[in-house]
C-alpha cells in the first residue's frame, strides 16, 4: 500500500465526530455532522490530505451544496447560506467551519480545542485561535459537503443568525443599519437576479431577525457563553 493510501486508510478509520473525542492516537480527525455528507468520501479525503504535508496547516474545510432545492426556503438557504452558484476559490487563513472539515488533532488540542462554554460559533472561535497561534486554516471548494437536512423558515433564520451573530452577539444600531442595506442592495438583488422573487421577503427579514434575536437574548439574560 502506498504511503498516500495508507494515510487515507488511517484517516478513514477515525470515527466521524468532534476531534476531542477521537482516538488519542489519531493525528487527523474528520468532522461531519449528521446533517451533512461528504460527496464521495475517498475523493474528499484525497483532496484534503495533501494539504497536511505542510505542518503549519491545522484544518481544511469545504463548501456546502444542498441535496434539494424544492422550496423557497431551500433555494434561499442554497443562495445565501451555502453560497451555491457563487464562484469560490481556495482561501488561506479562512474562517473555520467544522461541519465538513479535516482537522489536525494535536494542534486543535494545543490551542485548547472547542470552547464548551459557547452556545454557538464554536468553530469560528477555534479557527481564530488556530490563526492567532500561527497556523493556517484552508477553505478548499473542491471539498464538497452535501446538506441533507430540510429546514423550515424559522430554522433557516435561526441558522443564519447563529452563523453571523458572532460569539459575543454584539449589537449596534450601526451594524443593524448596514445589515438592512446589505439585505436590500445585495441579497434581494441576488434573489431578483436569480428570478426568484419569493426569496426576497426572507432576505429582507434577516437583519431584523438578527437584531431582535440578539437583543431579546440580552434582555432575557441569555448570555452567549454558558456559565
What does the alpha-carbon distance between residue 112 and residue 24 come to, in Å, rounded to a whole number? Answer: 15
Q: Residue 158, class by beta-carbon neighbours within 10 Å (0-12 exposed, 13-18 middle, 19+ buried)?
A: middle
**Interval 133-164: pLDDT, tens:** 999 999 999 888 888 778 899 999 999 998 88
Return the SS3 of 25: coil
What does the alpha-carbon distance between residue 194 and residue 90 come to, in Å, rounded to a whole number? Answer: 25
**Interval 195-207: pLDDT, tens:** 999 999 999 999 9
Q: Helix-strand-coil percent breakdown of the chain, rounded to 5?
A: 50, 15, 35
Domain 3-147 CATH (choose: 2.30.30.830, 1.20.1260.10, 3.90.550.10, 3.40.50.1820): 3.90.550.10
Cell 438592512 found at: 180
* CB distance 137 to 59 below 8 Å: yes
CB within 8 Å of 173: residues ≥ 6 apart: none
At residue 7, the pLDDT reads 43
* CB distance 11 to 111 below 8 Å: no
Instruction: List the grid coordinates of 201.
Output: 421577503
CA atoms within 13 A on the CB side of 33: 12
Task: Say what the pTM is.
Answer: 0.75
> If pLDDT is split at 50, 70 and 90, which confidence band does 46 have?
confident
Instruction: List the grid coordinates of 152.
Output: 423550515
Span 152-177, mean pLDDT? 88
Domain ranges of the chain: 3-147, 153-219
What does the alpha-carbon distance between residue 142 and residue 155 come to, in Å, rounded to a whole number? Answer: 27
Amino acid at each position: 500500500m502506498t504511503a498516500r493510501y495508507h494515510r487515507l486508510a488511517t484517516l478513514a478509520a477515525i470515527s466521524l465526530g468532534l476531534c476531542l473525542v477521537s482516538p488519542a492516537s489519531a493525528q487527523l480527525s474528520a468532522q461531519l455532522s449528521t446533517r451533512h455528507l461528504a460527496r464521495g468520501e475517498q475523493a474528499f479525503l484525497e483532496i484534503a490530505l495533501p494539504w497536511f504535508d505542510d505542518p503549519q496547516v491545522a484544518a481544511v474545510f469545504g463548501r456546502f451544496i444542498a441535496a434539494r432545492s424544492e422550496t423557497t426556503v431551500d433555494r434561499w438557504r442554497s443562495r445565501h447560506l451555502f453560497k451555491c452558484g457563487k464562484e469560490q476559490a481556495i482561501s488561506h487563513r479562512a474562517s473555520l467551519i467544522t461541519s465538513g472539515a479535516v482537522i489536525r488533532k494535536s494542534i486543535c488540542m494545543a490551542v485548547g480545542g472547542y470552547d464548551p462554554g459557547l452556545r454557538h460559533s464554536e468553530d469560528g472561535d477555534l479557527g481564530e485561535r488556530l490563526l492567532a497561534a500561527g497556523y493556517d486554516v484552508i477553505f478548499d471548494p473542491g471539498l464538497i459537503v452535501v446538506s441533507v437536512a430540510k429546514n423550515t423558515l424559522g430554522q433557516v433564520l435561526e441558522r443564519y443568525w447563529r452563523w453571523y451573530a458572532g460569539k459575543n452577539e454584539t449589537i449596534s444600531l450601526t451594524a443593524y443599519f448596514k445589515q438592512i442595506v446589505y439585505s436590500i442592495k445585495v441579497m434581494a438583488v441576488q434573489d431578483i437576479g436569480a428570478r426568484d422573487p419569493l426569496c426576497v421577503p426572507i432576505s429582507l427579514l434577516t437583519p431584523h431577525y438578527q437584531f431582535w434575536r440578539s437583543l431579546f437574548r440580552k434582555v432575557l439574560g441569555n448570555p452567549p457563553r454558558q456559565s
